[in-house]
Amino acid sequence: MPIKQAAATIAASVLLLSACSTPEPEPAANPITPTRAAHNDAPSVRTPLNTERFQRDPCAVLTEVQAVALRLNPRGENTENPLAPQCSWSNDIELTNFALHFNTANPKGLQNLYDKKRDDNEIHLERIPDIQDHPAIIFTSTPELLSKGECGIAVGVSDQLTFAVTNSIPDGPERAHPCESARKFADAVLTTMKKG
């Protein structure tokens, strides 16, 4: 699969999870965690970030130095997506692909992923330790994708907005741990955005 096509495929899968859905009659409550109220499962963002500048230019979330440290090409490429600001990075030798988008289409932040989980129980969600004090959730359309070198991590920058990092690692030692690579990418993104 060509690099650009692979990155676009990754981004399309994350948007499937995070884009707005058509309102429907509310089903019986089926929360992921029984002890929490329905439709209020997501962790709160204690310190919201202003990301407007990066939404206008999503490729600016990584410096060239950061990208190289992550074993990616120095510059990302803005990829057209009508639903969300998006940028993709690749490694032309290892054929590794990363994509990032801001989920501006839905103002529910991380809660949107939990709502999607109710609609489709195949979706894999896993809360992981906060990244620089921002709540983060691993997600894939099916758990099997993790063993194929694919992972997505959504990070709350406010209670209304997330950014998502998705990757595809077809080969090499990092293929067995795609979520750790995605976490490192998200950590670098937060470092950049906190500098403004």
Q: Looking at the 3D structure of the chain, how many domains does it have?
A: 1
Cβ atoms of 151 and 178 closer than 8 Å:
yes
Residue 170 structural domain: 3-18+46-195
Six-digit token string for 67: 């990208």
CA distance 93 to 102: 27
128: left (phi over 0), alpha (psi -120 to 50) or beta: beta
Domain contains 26: no
Domain contains 55: yes
Structure confidence at residue 138 (pLDDT): 96
Output the pTM of the full model.
0.83
Domain contains 24: no
CA distance 13 to 130: 23
At residue 9, φ and ψ (nearest 5 deg) are: -65, -45
CATH of the domain at 189: 3.40.1000
Structure confidence at residue 10 (pLDDT): 53
**CA torsion, points 177, 179, 181, 184, in degrees to nearest 10?**
-140
Please report, as a single letter, which amino acid is at residue 58: P
Domain contains 108: yes
Cβ atoms of 41 and 112 closer than 8 Å:
no
Per-residue confidence in pLDDT tens, the chain, 196 aa: 444 544 554 554 555 555 544 344 343 333 333 333 446 889 999 999 999 999 999 999 999 999 999 999 999 999 877 778 899 999 988 889 999 999 998 899 999 999 999 888 889 999 999 999 999 999 998 889 999 999 999 999 999 999 999 999 998 888 999 999 999 999 999 999 999 8
CA distance 42 to 108: 10
Strand, helix or coil for residue 157:
coil
Domain contains 58: yes
Domain contains 188: yes
Domain contains 29: no
Domain contains 138: yes
